[in-house]
Amino acid sequence: MADLTDKQTFSDEDALEFHRSPTPGKISMAPTKPMATQRDLSLAYSPGVAIPVLAIAADADKAYDYTSKGNLVAVISNGTAILGLGNLGHMASKPVMEGKAVLFKRFADVDSFDVEVRTTDPDEFITVVKNIGDTWGGINLEDIRSPECFVIESELQDLLDIPVFHDDQHGTAIISTAGLINACHITGKKLEDIKVVLAGAGAAGLSSIGLMKAVGVRAENTVIVDRDGVIYKGRDGVDQWKAAHATDTPHRTLAEAMVGADVVLGLSAKGAITKEMVASMAPNPIIFAMANPDPEITPEDVASVRSDAIMATGRSDYVNQVNNVLGFPYIFRGALDVRARRVNHEMKVACAQALAALAREDVPDEVAMAYRGRKLKFGPDYIIPSPFDPRLIWYIPPFVAQAAMDTGVARKPIEDMEAYRTELRSRLDPSAALMQNISGAVRAAPNKRVVFAEGEETAVIRAAWGFKQAELGTPILLGREELIRKNAAEAGLDFDAMGIEIVNARVSEHNVDYTDFLYARLQRRGYLRRDVQRMINQDRNYFGAAMVARGQADAMVTGVTRNFNMVLKEVRRVLDVKDRMIGMSILLAKGRTLFVADTSIHELPNAEELAEIAIQAAATVRKLGKTPRVAFLSYSTFGNPPGDRGEKVREAIRILDQRGVDFEYEGEMPPELALDPDARGAYPFMRLTGHANVLVMPAIHSASISTRLVQSLGGARVIGPLLVGLEKSVQIVSLGASVSEIITAATFAAYDEGAAAEG
């Protein structure tokens, strides 16, 4: 398999496994109606469906009201220009198109499905898309080679009455234009005065130069260079799209054109721009080297000849990434919400200007967390917003929508723009944001050494590698080095390049110290010294926990090869409980983040234990950055029907009343009252101010069964149970846990240790 980049932070097998498991692909369909009763079925299909059918037959625009059309985008390709890999065929493009659909949903809550068209003939492609076009609210064209992409987009815009947007052209154009606006702002240059050179006259390059002209760059101040040299007026063999940007210029090479230039846009190939060319540019040069995976010139090479340059690339491992995900989700969000007939020039300009304006505002903490705690602020190293800026969803689409309204392409104008912004804020699922915040906090904190106890297991090795590559901390693998290296090689990992520490318990220099420490704890509990020595030598859970206890590591993750209870007993012989120990699961479903306790420790908690569980869960949720609202769940609703378990819950409430805790709580109640404030009409005395986000279960079986049931039904993600309350941070994964589950557990282990250290 081809080596895509020397900075690739995952193995080929990781990529294949990600796309293969647990379900092939990256998208699925979820119904928006319950379909739980005969009435639901009658309304959804026959005979009820006939009513909207007749309404749409009378007025086709009613499809926006009665179907998903208004929030549905098709990502369509023929695979003739896939990710810079070339023409690999329509089916080879499917993973990319699915990926685009995932980004639409993740960043802008736009439903999207991929369509791969088996033709390389532009006319045939246009015919296919024209005939299915009415199905969608918009069409995103992707990975179609130039110059056919210009013809296809232009004709489909004329043939269809919905937005048709070729992201390879316009996405790059919008983001780079936003960056140019801000780079000029920083350097004090005026758009109408700057001299701009474009290296690479493909779809993205020509669209970028066109949009930059629309925001103020003068046509006579631009020079475009393709593989044959400068595109000047009168040059032979130039197609109509390049010819439209030809200028009267004496320059014939890129090197000549860059002398005295203020800006160079690179959309060509690695090495196309040299240090000498950069050195010849005007003061405070603006260099956007956007070829992927390797830019035309690296920031390091630019810095070696120019200390006054502002640099942007297409890569995430350098500052100022020109990333199309900043554009297309929000362009379509705004266009769909006003039912736009097309994405016009004014909407693209509005998006670029809005992105530029957002980058100039104070950067929120969530973005700093994504960048390892580095506090970002507008300047040469931050001219383009981060894709992880949570404000993008509500900041950008209103500008796009307003431009559509102002130019007359909106079918459904927005009357209250502030209410629209509020609605946009509530669209995104918080699950990805939660993990991003946790990972960002871990990166921002001092580096943590995390023990991966079952270090010989292939899944654990891959997880440790992923943990290290994500720069979440320093992993330590416990096991025999020869076997670990063998399993790493079989997994396709270059272990020497991993730089991960291996510790073999049998030969560790800390063996005696750990034995002395553990024997002092267990000598009056029936253990002889030789028993303890054997435990330290032969059981990695004892050894790993001792590493954490004695300060040679900060946290530990284990459980892949043994059941939870066995592992917990071993860890508890080494580490004490600091607070009440509980198991807490995080349930992410339908835009909500719920914390469920206790899911692993207390089998049948009494009233005092239930109160303690609530206190510990609330404290943990607050540490995760949320405001806890605790609901004690039960089969009983405030005493009806009566029963033993319900009485214990009521007693727990009385205990919390006496303690005067600093969080909202209420109970006992069924889930519907906890999660739906509108269902509480018969109970005006309830103290919860909104939906509960911490659910305290009456017993471990109800907690465990409910979380696993929801997960098994699909549409939800469950993290955990997380182990909370030990004196040191240890997380125990489920038997046979996946690589991603191990990484998640290790991340929480590192996060918990960091938060404990701060506290």
Query: In this structure, what token pair is assigned to residue 609?
Result: 């234990």
3-state secondary structure 337-356: HCCECCCCHHHHHHHHHHHH
Q: Are the beta carbons of 706 and 607 closer than 8 angstroms?
A: no
SS3 state of residue 461: helix
* Spatial separation of the C-alpha atoms in residues 319 and 323, rounded to whole Å: 11
Q: How far apart are CA 85 and CA 737, in angstroms?
A: 34
Q: Are 197 and 258 in contact (CB under 8 A)?
A: yes
Going from the C-alpha of 433 to that of each of 50, 541, 610, the distances in angstroms are: 41, 32, 30
485 phi/psi in degrees, rounded to 5 = -65, -40
Separation between Cα atoms, residue 13 and residue 309, nearest integer Å: 39
d(CA 14, CA 20): 10
With 0-12 CB in 10 A as exposed, 13-18 as middle and 19+ as buried, what is 416? exposed
Q: Are 466 and 741 in contact (CB under 8 A)?
A: no
What is each CA distance from 80 to 83, 86, 256, in whole angstroms? 10, 6, 33
- What is the C-alpha radius of gyration for the chain, rounded to an integer number of angstroms? 29
CB-based burial of residue 520 (10 Å sphere; 0-12 exposed, 13-18 middle, 19+ buried)? exposed
Q: Which of these is catalytic: 45, 190, 275, 683?
A: 45
232 is catalytic: no
Measured distance CA(13)–CA(17) in Å, rounded: 6
The answer to whether 567 touches 559, Cβ cutoff 8 Å, is yes
Tell me, what DSSP letter sits at residue 301? H
- Which residue of the set 69, 94, 100, 648 is catalytic? 100
Can you read off the two tokens belonging to residue 239?
Answer: 């197609």
**Contact status, residue 544 vs residue 451, Cβ threshold 8 Å:** yes
Tell me the torsion sign for CA atoms 133, 135, 136, 140: negative
Contact 176, 208 (CB under 8 A): yes
Backbone angles phi and psi of 721, in degrees to 5: -70, 140
Given phi > 0 = left and psi -120 to 50 = alpha, else beta, which region is 83? left
Helices 345-359 and 203-214: crossing angle in degrees, nearest 10, is 80
Closest by alpha carbon to 173, among 332, 312, 349, 335?
A: 349
DSSP 8-state secondary structure symbol assigned to residue 663: S
592-597 and 577-589 as β-strands: parallel, antiparallel, unpaired? antiparallel
Strands 229-230 and 222-226: antiparallel
Known catalytic residue at 195: no
CB 696 within 8 A of CB 548: no
Residues identified as active-site: 45, 100
